């Protein structure tokens, strides 16, 4: 014969209402956990979306050379010939066009893009030449007369530029001649002062035939 007292003592009585509230409590706990997981995944997705939009919308780096005579696309670590040509033209036009008032600034700007050997040559006679330009009121005007020519050999660029140069004392023309410059340009480390990573290592002047008009 089964003892009812033993049954009641080993298995506590749980009413239907108690079971309902326990199940409801477990369901609520699971719902809270699911909501937290959904919020976490939503936040992660939002961060990834913002990063993607920022990456797409961010402006790309642009490399340029002041006074460039041709357009093109520059790639980091690569120096296209068109960029070297533009650099050479810009530097020479700046170096060869000056007045007594601007000659010192021209020298200071141009030397930032000179190689060590050329800078040493120019620096050794710069004080005397600058003083002569200011004292005699000399001005120089240079203009290109043909398309620059360029070649590359073992990492060094040779750029040939032909043009006409006039030297003036005040408003009086002292000389006017056709002239050719052959420039050697080398790659160098990019710096804040020289972001183009190019420098003029050597330059020589050659006379060309020209009939004065």
Return the sign of the alpha-carbon dihedral for residues 62, 67, 70, 76. negative
Check residue 139 and give its pLDDT. 94
Pairing of strands 156-169, 138-144: antiparallel
Q: Compute and round to an integer the Cα radius of gyration of the chain.
A: 39
Lowest-confidence range among 43-57, 143-157, 173-187?
A: 43-57
Mean pLDDT, the chain, whole residue set: 78
Check residue 7 and give its pLDDT. 45
Q: What is the pLDDT of residues 85-102, one digit of tens each?
A: 999 999 999 999 999 999
**81-207: which CATH topology?**
Nuclear Transport Factor 2; Chain: A, (3.10.450)
| CA nearest to 137, candidates 109, 172, 165 | 172
Q: Where do we find the tokens 């909501």?
A: 35
Coarse DSSP helix, strand, coil percentages of the chain, rounded to the nearest 5 percent:
45, 25, 30
Mean pLDDT of 90-119: 91
Whole-prediction pTM = 0.60
| Residue partners of 149: CB distance under 8 A and separation at least 6 | 159, 160
Check residue 59 and give its pLDDT. 58
Structure tokens belonging to residue 8: 């009641």
How far apart, in whole angstroms, are the C-alpha atoms of residue 145 and residue 139?
A: 20
């Amino acid at each position: 014969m089964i003892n009812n007292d033993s049954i009641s003592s080993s298995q506590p009585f749980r009413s239907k209402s108690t079971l309902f509230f326990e199940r409801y409590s477990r369901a609520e706990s699971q719902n809270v956990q699911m909501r937290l997981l959904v919020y976490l995944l939503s936040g992660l997705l939002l961060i990834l979306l913002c990063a993607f939009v920022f990456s797409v919308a961010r402006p790309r780096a642009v490399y340029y050379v002041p006074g460039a005579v041709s357009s093109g696309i520059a790639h980091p670590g690569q120096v296209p010939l068109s960029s070297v040509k533009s650099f050479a033209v810009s530097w020479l036009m700046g170096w060869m066009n000056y007045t007594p008032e601007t000659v010192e600034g021209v020298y200071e700007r141009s030397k930032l893009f000179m190689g060590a050997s050329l800078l040493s040559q120019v620096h050794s006679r710069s004080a005397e030449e600058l003083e002569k330009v200011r004292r005699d009121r000399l001005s120089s005007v240079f203009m290109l007369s043909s398309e620059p020519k360029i070649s590359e050999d073992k990492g060094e660029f040779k750029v040939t530029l032909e043009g006409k140069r006039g030297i003036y004392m005040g408003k009086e023309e002292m000389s006017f001649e056709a002239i050719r410059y052959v420039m050697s340009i080398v790659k160098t480390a990019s710096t804040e002062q020289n972001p183009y990573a190019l420098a003029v290592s050597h330059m020589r002047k050659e006379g060309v035939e020209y009939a004065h008009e």
